[in-house]
Amino acid sequence: MKTIGIIGFGNINQEVARQAVNSNKIEIKWILDRSPSKKAKKEARKQIEKSLGKKLRFIKSKDKLQSDSDKVDVIVEATGAIDAIEYLRYKRDNLNWGDEVLFVTANKAMVANHLPEFFGSNSNDVRIEAAVAAGLPLIRSLSEHIAADEVQGMVGILNGTTNFMLDEMEKTIYASENQTYDMVLDESVEKGYAEPGGAGDVDGQDAAYKLQILSRIAFGTEIAPDPDLVRGIDDNKTFDRIRSVDFIYANKYLDSTIKLVAIAQSSSKTEPFFLVYPMLVPKSSKLSAIKGPDNYIEIYSKYLVYTDMQGKGAGPEPTACAMLADVLSHKNCNSDSQQLIKDFRSNDEIYFSRWMVRGSCYDLPGVLAHIFQHFENKGISIDEVFQLQADEVGCKWDKKDRDFGKEQEKILPFVFTVTKTNLSKLQEALSTVKLDKKFFPKQGKLFAFYPVLERKLINGVPKFVIEE
Ligand SMILES: NC(=O)c1ccc[n+]([C@@H]2O[C@H](COP(=O)([O-])OP(=O)(O)OC[C@H]3O[C@@H](n4cnc5c(N)ncnc54)[C@H](OP(=O)(O)O)[C@@H]3O)[C@@H](O)[C@H]2O)c1
């Protein structure tokens, strides 16, 4: 029988407690939570105590922990707080519970912000499987099964909430009542995939935390991602968020869909690369077929060449299951033998051979020439231009969306592709297009853009490639 102490008694750890009680292999000695008297927690506690047949010990502060009587085999932490690192430090330094008390966490924000404490030479006492892609055994695969290989790159979908949202939007683009961004966000909150407003998920940060942790394991690389290289489906910055009409253009003209893609690449031949971005993904690829809240990753490596994995990337049940597998395992998934590489490519070094840009303007002659002239002045070549007719766009132009105010009805979205350019140059060109009020509405973000992720056969293996 393993003994555990639980820190944080929210969605995840309530499920951990339920599964632990059902397993008959794990005994809960104490539960620490900052607000155990909240209604939902009291109800969960009552239920779990009923099936256990006895009361559980709840505490509100780490100061109540006794070094002898409260010692457990494993501490299971799921608070979501970056400063929950204090609990790991307290275990190590104050309670003097060394390697023999394992610290299992699902808290990716804490791990990504404190990588040295999870991957240093003194980190035999931590397990982090559930922090990335919940139930997918990604950390274990990278750190054990692929450990002897040289990982060169990873391309995947690491945020289930936004994948669910994109999937829902795309399903209804040709329906008479299409689902707007706001509608699918509300639905994902209702289903428990996202917090109200979607913070953390829709801005790409959650996927970036996970990619940071995976990069550390795969490449021995500790990075703080460049904020310009982490963009979500609505980043609340200068550019527009994703809209249904973007899927129509991507489907109809570029045989692609749109996914929030996380990419990290590191090989001796090229500069390391780290990016989380909404991208156009070819319909023929497996990445484009990932539906709902699933997570998916393709790992390219020297000897195994190609491995992929797909599964439930969120939700209390798979997350708790992964945490309890960590509780029951005593294998060490850390190594600090690799050299740390800190310099990843910056946004002026990230080139894609094609980009799709969507603009929003009044449907007047001369507007495209106005924009293209500006691009040409910046040395960016326009490749193709697509424009749906007003009746084809119809309600798909998010009629219910109020970003453009009353002017929404008069605005027609158009799309063009540009040839090889880098991220910073494209952003700069779009931010400085002269907004002549004859052509453009005063309100709303006028542009959105997506790199086109290309897949090529390399030595017989289909791989996503980042153009040099
Ligand atoms: N939900 C998923 O599908 C999923 C999947 C994989 C990983 N995770 C990770 O699992 C963690 C927990 O997620 P969750 O959905 O269970 O969150 P949650 O429902 O908000 O639960 C967190 C619990 O921890 C408590 N808490 C917060 N900060 C604390 C602190 N400093 N000390 C003690 N207690 C504290 C919270 O109290 P209050 O009620 O007072 O806030 C709450 O009871 C997060 O790191 C998340 O990224 C979640």
pLDDT digits (tens, 9 = 90+) for 303-320: 877 889 999 887 888 899
Residue 262, domain extent:
146-311+459-465
pLDDT score of 344 more than 50:
yes
Q: What are phi and psi of 111, to 5 degrees?
A: -65, -50
Q: How confident is the model at residue 393 (pLDDT cuts 50, 70, 90)?
A: low
pLDDT score of 72 more than 90:
yes
Quick one: average pLDDT of 48-71? 96
Please give the residue that has the higher pLDDT: either 318 or 238.
318
Please give the residue that has the higher pLDDT: either 30 or 413.
30
Question: Does residue 290 sit in the same domain as residue 357?
Answer: no
With CA atoms as reference, report the closest residue to 427 among 345, 367, 348.
348
Give the other-Cβ count within 10 Å of 126's Cβ. 23
| Structural domain includes residue 29 | yes
pLDDT score of 330 more than 70:
no
| Structural domain includes residue 325 | no
Mean pLDDT (the chain) is 88
Q: Which atom of ligand 1 is nearest to the CA of 41?
A: 43
Q: How confident is the model at residue 340 (pLDDT cuts 50, 70, 90)?
A: low
Helix ranges restricted to H, 101-221: 108-113, 115-119, 138-140, 160-171, 181-190, 205-219
Quick one: average pLDDT of 9-30? 94
pLDDT score of 175 more than 90:
no
| Structural domain includes residue 130 | no
Helix (H) or strand (E) holding 325: helix 316-328
Give me the pLDDT at residue 401, please: 57
Q: How confident is the model at residue 159 (pLDDT cuts 50, 70, 90)?
A: very high
Question: Does residue 279 sit in the same domain as residue 403?
Answer: no
Question: Does residue 230 sit in the same domain as residue 307?
Answer: yes
| Structural domain includes residue 320 | no
Question: Does residue 191 sit in the same domain as residue 260?
Answer: yes
Q: What percent of the chain has pLDDT over 70?
A: 93
pLDDT score of 398 more than 70:
no
| Structural domain includes residue 32 | yes
Burial of 95 per CB tally in 10 Å (0-12, 13-18, 19+): middle
Is the CB–ligand 1 distance for residue 156 below 6 Å? Answer: no
pLDDT score of 331 more than 50:
no
Give me the pLDDT at residue 458, please: 80
Question: What one-character-per-residue DSSP string does 27-49 give?
Answer: EEEEEE-S-TTSHHHHHHHHHHH
Is the CB–ligand 1 distance for residue 82 below 6 Å? Answer: no
Beta-carbon contacts of 53 under 8 Å, excluding residues fewer than 6 positions away, are none
Q: Which atom of ligand 1 is nearest to the CA of 10?
A: 21
Tell the residue number behind the tokens 């912000």, with chain if given: 113
Domain's final residue, options 81, 105, 129: 105
Please give the residue that has the higher pLDDT: either 420 or 339.
420
Question: How do beta strands 151-157 and 256-265 pair?
Answer: antiparallel
* 89 alpha carbon, distance to own chain's centre: 27
Please give the residue that has the higher pLDDT: either 410 or 157.
157
Instruction: Tally the domains of the chain.
Output: 3
Question: Does residue 304 sit in the same domain as residue 355?
Answer: no
pTM passes above 0.85: yes
Domain's final residue, options 51, 84, 105: 105
| Structural domain includes residue 328 | no
Residue 211 belongs to domain with CATH number = 3.30.360.10
pLDDT score of 183 more than 80:
yes
Domain's final residue, options 47, 74, 105: 105
Going by the DSSP 8-state scheme, the letter that residue 143 receives in this structure is I
Tell the residue number behind the tokens 């929404």, with chain if given: 408
Question: Does residue 232 sit in the same domain as residue 369?
Answer: no
pLDDT score of 333 more than 50:
no
Residue minimizing CA distance to atom 1 of ligand 1: 315
| Structural domain includes residue 228 | yes
Distance 400 CA to ligand 1 centre (A): 34
